[in-house]
Amino acid sequence: MFDILAIIVQFLPVILILFLANLAERLRSQGQPYRPLAVLAYVSLASIYAVLALLSLGALFVPALLQAQPDLVEQMNPIMPVQSWAWLSWGILIPSLLGLLLLLHPVRRWLANFTTLEAANPAHAVSASMTMFIPVYLAFTLGIGLNNLAMQIATQVEETGRQPVTIGLLWVQTALFVLIALVGVGWPTRRSFKESLARLDVVAPTMRQVLVAVAAALVMVPAVMLLEAAASMIGLGANADVESLTEQLIGPLFQTPLGILSIGLAAGIGEEFLFRGAMQPRFRLVLTALLFALLHSNYGITFSTAIVFLLGMVLGMLRNRFNTSTAMLAHAVYNSTLALLAALAGQFLINQ
């Protein structure tokens, strides 16, 4: 229950700021005074980035402090083991500053040349700025280190018996992704629920679209396996830290049919609502796929990240050619198939 409350608290500021920005956009579109609400949304978001920037600036001086006082290393490692202070400082500082810059009208006007964002739209301003949360999260993960995170999770499971990712937590995160997508496109401030689904292009798929989605997923699975095999031959194969962290995070879910199904459906619904449904029409195909890949911080920056980027491109093309629902089904079938194969492989090894 604590983990569920923690993730809700983490997402709540994002939802509230998006709500304020969309409310401001409704007033702007009606020719009413909107700036106080828009400024409140901007200042709220800017405050988060300011705190992150200050913390990252502090992290810049930690390596020198540790070099001057080596005893601090042993004292700090049990509390927060760090693999790279550079990622915790520069890796968080740079996207935090970019997040602040994206709240400035001239910067958004320049960005509008490469996207479908409207520079004067408060909802678009906030959405563009919030994309910087993704590289911040990635930098934090890389700063702590994939191996350190895996060991921390293993210790937590051993001491408490509590798994880091449960089926319940997975679905709560999915519900929050869906809520962010809905609020981000204007529900309930500017659009009705039905209008919001239409904007997200979430519709009842036709039988042809279902077959296309399943076929695309079943083609992607062996294609990814071949790419990974080819990468292994040239030394770009699976990363041990990535495999260890992934096993610690979601390995237990592979042990039950409900877990395997949830891995597929939860990601397919939540991530597609947000990325292909809400973001892609504004940020276009390539940038959305890149942000989608970086969101999967448990892969670090490895060949697996490139695979996720390619997956995002394929899902984005399905969204452009058909709709978000088709991409959603393809994503769900792809993830569930990989989870099933991983579970069968694990069972095979156990029986040997």
pLDDT tens-digit map of 31-72:
999 999 999 999 999 999 999 999 999 888 887 776 666 665
Q: With pLDDT > 90 as the criterion, what percentage of the chain qualifies?
A: 63
pLDDT band at 237 (very low <50, low <70, confident <90, very high): low
Query: Element (H or E) spanning 40, and its range?
Result: helix 35-60
Asked if 4 contacts 172 with a C-beta cutoff of 8 angstroms, the reply is: yes
What pLDDT is stored for residue 14 in this prediction? 97
- What residue has token string 């395997």? 260
pLDDT in tens, 169-203: 999 999 999 999 999 999 999 999 999 999 999 99
Model confidence over 91-113: pLDDT tens digits? 999 999 999 999 999 999 998 88
Whether 114 has a pLDDT exceeding 70, the answer reads yes
Q: Where are the domains of the chain?
A: 1-144, 163-352
Which of 65-79, 239-253, 291-305 has the lowest average pLDDT? 65-79
Mean pLDDT of the chain: 90
pLDDT in tens, 209-223: 999 999 999 999 999
Question: 182, 173, 180: which is closest to 201 by C-alpha?
Answer: 182
| pLDDT range class, residue 343, cuts 50, 70, 90 | confident
In this prediction the pTM is 0.92
For residue 192, the SS3 value is: coil
Would you state the pLDDT for residue 308? 95
Residue type, 17: I
